[in-house]
Chain A
Amino acid sequence: MFETSISHNNVPVLRIDGKIIGGAANALKREMDKQIEQGKGGLVLDMAKVPLLDSSALGIIIATLQFLKKMNAKLVLLNPQHTVLDVLQVTRLNTILEVYSDEESATSAFGS
């Protein structure tokens, strides 16, 4: 369900495959914590293969976003599907989450 690569400017990109509902949210949290511990400056979540997420997943993403903000780091989303974008729009999370449609801009959002 998770696969991580490191972009050329050293930002971890976490690719998620599948719905993030129920217990999958906790698995996502563990995976993000692991990447944050190892990485520096933040994390890109590649959502291209996520058809759906529930409120637990939103909670985990918000908590991680807030945590990273405090550390002066970032969490950005890459390529969310329209179903996920709808959820972000209804909840207004689109106003606090940076969303990108290609990996180059997503990772360069981190500066150097």
Chain B
Amino acid sequence: MSETILAVDDDIDILELIQMSLDAEGFDVITANDGMSGLEKARAHSPDLILLDLMMPVMDGFEVIGKLKADEQTRAIPVIMLTARAQTHERVQGLHAGADDYVTKPFDLDELTARIEAVLGRTLPTKYINPLISTMGDWFTEEGVEQLASHLEAAAMIQQNLIPKKAPNLPGFDIAGFLRSSMTVSGDFYDFIPLDNNRLGIAIADVRGKGIPAALLMVMIRTTLRLICREETSPAAVLKRINDLLAIDTDPDLFATMVYAILDSAANTFTYSSAGHCYPLHLKNGGTEVDELKEGGMLLGIFEHAAFELETIPLAPGDEILLYTDGVTETERQVDETFYGEERLAALLQSNSDQPAETFCQTIETALFDFSGTDHRDDDVTIVVIKATNGKE
């Protein structure tokens, strides 16, 4: 995407020259020939950078900088001053007022482009930090940021402690979980809850959004789950109770997807219900077939009286269940913006059926890394693998 440059100068010839040359460099150029309309265009178009002549009639460049920096909306836009060679004093004054750099007239076009590139590169972080600053308002002091950072770290610690540290021991099954968060705190979680000697509750969930709001909702869901999972015998009933609670207490655009299942090692069954979550995969018939498990109901937290269905799957030795969040299937390949997708995941499951559950979690993570071509993650990645070994390890 090309960057937008606003050029403000009362000299029409200079504006035209700037427009022509920056156009040729691939920038989008907007022009204004006095300070007032420059300000208006800065507010209307939120350009990525402003080239500003200092000496203009009526409203001069200093006044424009002052007004730009006083307005939250335009404060972060970098400004390069256009000054005459003799105006050393004005240059300094401009830099003090908040300009980022200056170019002296008559200027060399290559120099102008180089300055623009440099300033755009330098201010990129500001572009991302600025929305944070406006959210934080008065908190944006050094102490405020420090305090917030330490709270965030503490929150991340609490959250990490909520994720099971090791896979539970259930006779006849090999189980593993994996979570890789894209930010300090996460909206994903998985949980293993022993219900009795034979039965294990297994949950995986993805809360909409990221960061602290998502993490708070995640904790709320996990707490509710832990409180009610022993009272209810059916996964569908568990989801229904969590849903009803969230639907009353949260905004309609706050929601989560979740699968809750009970793995029964005496009956060798997997009974699950899904609330709008990506379909779990079931590897069966000696590894020759992969089924999508689609039973369930609506996303959690939207409708107060949503209904959930459940299904019981018999597990034969060699069968596998793969639960995951959309961070897995929506991992994007950088070169062509293609998603990893369910088909690749199913193929990976089939071709690695000999791996222990924990190894297979790593295999998926490596495959996603290789596929995307980057270590950067836009979304949390969470995986739970359940293998029916039934004695054969």
Q: A90-B279, A91-B276 are in contact. Are A59 and B298 (CB under 8 A)?
A: no
Cβ contacts under 8 Å, B252 to chain A: 62-63, 66-67
The verdict on A59 contacting B278 (CB below 8 Å), with A91-B298, A92-B297 known, is no
A59 to B257, CA, bound (A): 12
A60 at interface (Cβ–Cβ under 8 A)? Answer: yes
Q: Is the CB of A92 within 8 A of B253?
A: no
**B40-61 CB contacts (< 8 Å) to partner A:** none
B140 on the interface (CB 8 Å rule)? no
Alpha-carbon separation in the docked complex, A90 to B206 (Å): 14
Find chain B residues with CB under 8 A from A60 CB. Answer: 253
Interface residues on chain A, size class: 10 to 19
Query: Of A54, A63, A92, which is within 8 A of B298 by CB?
Result: A92
- By the criterion CB–CB under 8 Å, are B302 and A62 in contact? yes
Instruction: Write the chain B residue with the least CB distance to A29.
Output: B253
Question: A83 — nearest CB in chain B belongs to which residue?
Answer: B339
- Quick one: which of A55, A62, A96 contacts B209, CB cutoff 8 A? A55
Please determine whether B298 and A62 come into contact, CB atoms closer than 8 angstroms: no
Residues in chain A near residue B297, CB distance under 8 A: 92
The distance from the CB of A59 to the nearest CB of chain B, in whole angstroms, is 4
In the bound assembly, the distance between CA atoms of A90 and B356 in angstroms comes to: 29
From known contacts A91-B298, A91-B299, A95-B298, infer whether A59 and B276 are also in contact, taking CB-CB under 8 Å.
Answer: no
CB distance from A57 to the nearest CB of B (A): 10
Cα distance, A60 to B302, chains bound together (Å): 12
Binding site for A on B (CB under 8 A): 206, 208-209, 251-255, 257, 276-279, 296-299, 302-303, 326, 330
Instruction: State the A residues within 8 Å of B (CB).
Output: 54-56, 58-60, 62-63, 66-67, 90-93, 95-96
